[in-house]
Amino acid sequence: MSAIFPNTMLLETLLPLGKVDPGLRAPEVPLDLATVGKNARLLDEIGYHGMVVEETKDDPFVIMALAAEATQKLKLATSVAIAFPRSPTVTAMSAWTLQKLSGGRFTLGLGTQVKAHIERRFGMPASPAGPWIREYVRAVRAVWDCWQNGAKLDVKGPHYNINLMVPLFNPGPIEHPRIPIQLAAVNPVMSQIVGEVADGLRAHPVCTPSYIEQVMLPAVRAGAAKAGRSLADFEVCMKPLVATAATEAELVPKVRDVRARISFYASTPQYRAAFAHHGLGALADELKLLSRAQRWEEMPRFITDDILHTFVTIGTYDQIARKLTDRYAGVVTLCEFSIPVNNAADRERLAALARDIQGESQQRARRAIAGT
pLDDT at 122 (0 to 100) = 97
Kindly report whether the peptide bond that precedes residue 218 is cis, defined as omega within 30 degrees of 0: no
Strand partners, 107: 77
Measured over the CA atoms of residue 195, residue 200, residue 204 and residue 206, the dihedral's sign is positive
The Cα–Cα gap between 223 and 193 comes to: 6
Other Cβ atoms less than 10 A from the Cβ of 270: the count is: 14
The Cα–Cα gap between 31 and 19 comes to: 9
Q: What angle do CA 54, 56, 61 make, to 5 degrees?
A: 50
Domains and CATH numbers, the chain: 10-79+180-242+315-370 (3.20.20.30)
Number of residues that make up the chain? 372
Q: CA of 230: how far to CAs of 2, 82, 186, 224, in Å?
A: 12, 26, 21, 7
Secondary structure (3-state) at 53 = strand
Q: Which amino acid is at 140?
A: V
Strand partners, 366: none
Nearest CA-CA partner of 9 in 371, 295, 369, 281 = 369
Strand partners, 200: 182, 235
**pTM reported for the whole predicted model:** 0.95
pLDDT at 5 (0 to 100) = 47
Q: CA of 212: how far to CAs of 1, 151, 218, 265, 369, in Å?
A: 21, 37, 9, 17, 10
Longest dimension (CA), the chain: 62
pLDDT at 134 (0 to 100) = 98
Average pLDDT, the chain: 95
Contact 255, 249 (CB under 8 A): no
pLDDT in tens, 171-191: 999 999 999 999 999 999 999
pLDDT in tens, 289-303: 999 999 999 999 999
The Cα–Cα gap between 107 and 109 comes to: 6
pLDDT at 1 (0 to 100) = 36
Secondary structure (3-state) at 308 = helix
Other Cβ atoms less than 10 A from the Cβ of 223: the count is: 23
Burial state string for 276-310 with b = 16 or more CB within 10 A and e = fewer than 16: bbeebeebbeebeebbeeeeeeebbebbeeebbeb
pLDDT at 4 (0 to 100) = 42
Eight-class DSSP state of 11: E
Q: What are phi and psi of 216, to 5 degrees?
A: -75, -50
Nearest CA-CA partner of 114 in 61, 15, 60, 190 = 190
The Cα–Cα gap between 266 and 296 comes to: 12
Nearest CA-CA partner of 202 in 166, 158, 152, 236 = 236
Contact 236, 369 (CB under 8 A): yes
Q: Average pLDDT of each block of 10 consecutive residues along the chain (372 residues)?
A: 62 91 60 96 97 96 98 98 98 98 98 95 97 98 98 98 98 98 98 98 98 98 98 97 96 95 95 98 98 95 98 97 96 96 96 94 96 96
pLDDT at 6 (0 to 100) = 61
The Cα–Cα gap between 76 and 336 comes to: 12
What is 129-164 written as a DSSP string?
HHHHHHHHHHHHHHHHHHHHH-----EESSS-EE--
Contact 195, 231 (CB under 8 A): yes
pLDDT at 21 (0 to 100) = 60
pLDDT in tens, 84-121: 999 999 999 999 999 999 999 999 999 999 999 999 99
